[in-house]
Copies of this chain bind each other. A is one copy, B any other.
């Protein structure tokens, strides 16, 4: 927790009141914080800076928010479309990409996504929110990404993709494409990443027909969480 992310509901005037066990335990046991300490806090969706811990008990932490005037780090200019990974991988991947600065995520069904993954408790809004918050707390950022579930490939292709590609360079990461992943591009990008096992050829074909470029990350087969981090780091 490199930043204490404050929900608007926790702020009252120049003070913030935290009552959740997770952060209070972290403040006590990891930060070993005591009243008077300066800690880095951020208002969800807003500014960040140092705040003074006024009180810390077993059940409550109170901060005085004097000087929150730092802007959060810039976001990555990308909308990430990710074939829904298995639940544990999803959790970690959401944290990684949020920490890296992704602000728009679509979780997509494709042929090789196991249908049971859509029933996972990890997809409940509160669980997703939790992973996004962990990513922001790690990277010191305040802007939550939006996460959209797209449970059909064809409706995504026909109804959402054309809009998403508007003003964006579409890039499909897929083994065997001729173009290597481009480096250090500054363009607004729609990045599509397949599931373990990849997109099926028909899906790749349809994405290319829709105007996306194919590209690969080299001969190694990477786990989704490794591949997504490697792609984002190379692209931006």
Q: Which residues of A contact B (CB under 8 A)?
A: 2, 73, 95-96, 99-101, 138-141, 183-184, 218-223, 226, 229-234
* Pairs across A and B, CB under 8 Å, 14 listed: A73-B218, A73-B220, A95-B223, A96-B223, A99-B223, A100-B220, A100-B226, A101-B220, A140-B219, A140-B221, A229-B230, A230-B232, A230-B233, A233-B234
Q: Could you tell me the distance between the alpha carbons of A119 and B124 in the complex, rounded to whole angstroms?
A: 38
Q: Is the CB of B229 within 8 A of A99?
A: no
Q: Could you tell me the distance between the alpha carbons of A29 and B51 in the complex, rounded to whole angstroms?
A: 53
Taking the closest CB of chain B, its distance from the CB of A205, in whole angstroms, is 24
Taking the closest CB of chain B, its distance from the CB of A86, in whole angstroms, is 12
Q: Could you tell me the distance between the alpha carbons of A222 and B232 in the complex, rounded to whole angstroms?
A: 13
Chain B residues within an 8 Å CB radius of A223 = 95-96, 99, 138
Chain B residues within an 8 Å CB radius of A184 = 183
Q: Is the CB of A99 within 8 A of B140?
A: no
A73 nearest in chain B by CB position: B219
Q: Is the CB of A229 within 8 A of B233?
A: yes
A71 nearest in chain B by CB position: B219
Q: Is the CB of B230 within 8 A of A100?
A: yes
Chain B residues within an 8 Å CB radius of A73 = 218-220
A196 nearest in chain B by CB position: B2
Q: Could you tell me the distance between the alpha carbons of A221 and B218 in the complex, rounded to whole angstroms?
A: 27
Q: Which of B95, B141, B183, B218 contacts A220 (CB 8 A)?
A: B141
Could you say which of A221, A226, A229, A231 has the most chain B C-beta atoms within 10 Å of its C-beta?
A: A226
A101 nearest in chain B by CB position: B220
Q: Contacts A183-B184, A184-B183 known; A100 to B222 CB distance under 8 Å? A: yes
Chain B residues within an 8 Å CB radius of A222 = 99-100, 138-139
Chain B residues within an 8 Å CB radius of A138 = 221-223
Chain B residues within an 8 Å CB radius of A141 = 220
